[in-house]
Structure 1
């Protein structure tokens, strides 16, 4: 039996973790990422930079009901770890292992499969519009860095958000 108090197998485990344990969990995530990606390769920097952000998102929101759209999906490794794939993170980008990007067929917590800068706000806007039309009560969160704001689809989304939905969350991660 695993007795590690920082073992997270799903977002509910994270929500149940006492607040004072979060810094230790963040350090454990970083150590796991460094150890794993030094062997498998992968996107280390973007993931080290979103540890606390991803922890906060999963403490506040409820995936898969709520949707997270990461502008560059290769910053989703922490999200993978917190949504039932921690024990498989050592297989990332390996044959038969976890995908290096978010992949809808990999987990119900992955709502979007693209990985390029500039796509998150448009995709999230589509999800928010669908949610509103269906009368659902959920949140859509787009996490975007500065590179997203140099792309046309981001500006198109920004021009349409206020006309399309009243509930849209953008996290600017710079």
Structure 2
């Protein structure tokens, strides 16, 4: 399955990623948190939490992040204040390169995300109003590319689309 791709310039304190696009997979996964975790873990990423998406702009300059929708639906903004608003629903996945801003605008009552990261990458929640952009860009440049795609595995589109 080929994801949609979006690349964002910096936006009002959100660095975004200057080289790697956001990957948007539609109806690519089962609508079940346990099944998603099994699939994503088998593809070499580490599922670390189940919850929603914060309702404020934030980013992670120290890790790439995969957000898989296990249930419900939401409208999210990616790329910071100047970014895009997209609808996501159960079975969809967003793969956000380090530095990509994101926030939840609205969500159904049953909205549930499974969050995953490449092995060895730890995320820090950073907000645009407190961002040190030169430090964030330096940190983003040091985040290694994952060896696999959380949705498609070792031969998945990420390995082709994220050349660095």
TM-score for both structures, normalised by structure 2: 0.26
Question: Which protein has the bigger strand share?
Answer: 2
The one of the two structures with greater contact order (alpha-carbon pairs below 8 A, sep at least 6) is 2
Structure of higher CA gyration radius: 1
Question: Which protein has the bigger helix share?
Answer: 1
TM-score for both structures, normalised by structure 1: 0.25
